[in-house]
Amino acid sequence: MTESPVLSRKTGITLLGGGQIDPRDVYHAMTIAPHLVAADGGANQALALELMPEAVIGDMDSFDPAHRGRITAERLHHIAEQDSTDFGKCLRLTQAPFYLGLGFTGRRLDHTLAALSALAHPPRKKIILIDAEDIVFCAPPEMALTLPVQSRFSLYPLGPSAGTSTGLRWPIDGLTLEPCGQIGTSNEVTGPVTLQMTGPCLVLLPKTALGEALRALGCV
């Protein structure tokens, strides 16, 4: 049975999890994706930053009961099933042209791995996760970016992936990237980058590249 979204917006959604965050990143994300949705314990962080989520979605095992009276019942969406993460539940039950996710990496490795896997889960949405140093998103079939020369440009496959590239010190043409085989981390930008990819592959860039990544993905 198809679930109806609990929140649908025509502009970007900022998703906030319970992991490591920099408040400056959250405030900046909301200038780009102004609708805030908290994944379970992310509501604790939102309230600590004096931000009111438009929805809190998850199994509610991490949301501090002391805070629940501060959020009206219609904004709380308890999803008890354990077949998906709270991040996955948020993606499944909201609709937006793109998402910026914070607090889904850095604190627990299992949560980080689950969030990275969700980036490529069909139906694939435009999602950029923001970490302390990096941003990460799933490569679309084609993209072009203009980044400073010598910028770090990493690729990490979540399954067999192949493609072509320009503007990278080590081109990927003719390679098959696989999680248990050859990967593409710590490449380097030499000029305007183009990338064509098949298969689920993550792109990891310095956090300063957020604006260019949004442009390249067609989010802004």
Least confident piece of the model among 61-65, 146-150, 151-155:
61-65
User: Would you state the pLDDT for residue 6?
Assistant: 93
Taking the C-alpha atoms of residue 92 and residue 86, their distance in angstroms, rounded to an integer, is: 10
174 conformational bin, left if phi > 0, alpha if psi -120 to 50, beta if neither: left
β-strands 152-157, 184-198: how paired?
A: antiparallel
β-strands 55-58, 35-39: how paired?
A: parallel
Give phi and psi for 160, each to the nearest 5.
-55, 125
User: Would you state the pLDDT for residue 2?
Assistant: 61
Question: What residue type is 219 in one-letter code?
Answer: C
Sign of CA dihedral 46, 52, 54, 59: positive
Nearest to 55 by CA among 71, 31, 32: 71
CATH number of 7-132: 3.40.50.10240
Which option is the CATH number for 142-216: 3.90.1150.10, 3.30.530.20, 2.60.120.320, 2.40.30.170? 2.60.120.320
Kindly report, as residue ranges, where domains of CATH 3.40.50.10240 are found in the chain.
7-132
Is the Cβ–Cβ distance between 151 and 205 less than 8 Å?
Answer: yes
Pick the most confident of 60-64, 76-80, 146-150. Answer: 146-150
Is the Cβ–Cβ distance between 153 and 202 less than 8 Å?
Answer: no
Least confident piece of the model among 1-10, 161-170, 172-181:
1-10
Q: Average pLDDT, whole number, for the chain?
A: 94
Taking the C-alpha atoms of residue 141 and residue 66, their distance in angstroms, rounded to an integer, is: 45
Kindly report, as residue ranges, where domains of CATH 2.60.120.320 are found in the chain.
142-216
Q: 82-120, pLDDT tens digit by residue? A: 888 999 999 999 999 999 999 999 878 988 999 999 999
3 state SS for 94-121: EECCCEEEECCCCCCHHHHHHHHHHCCC
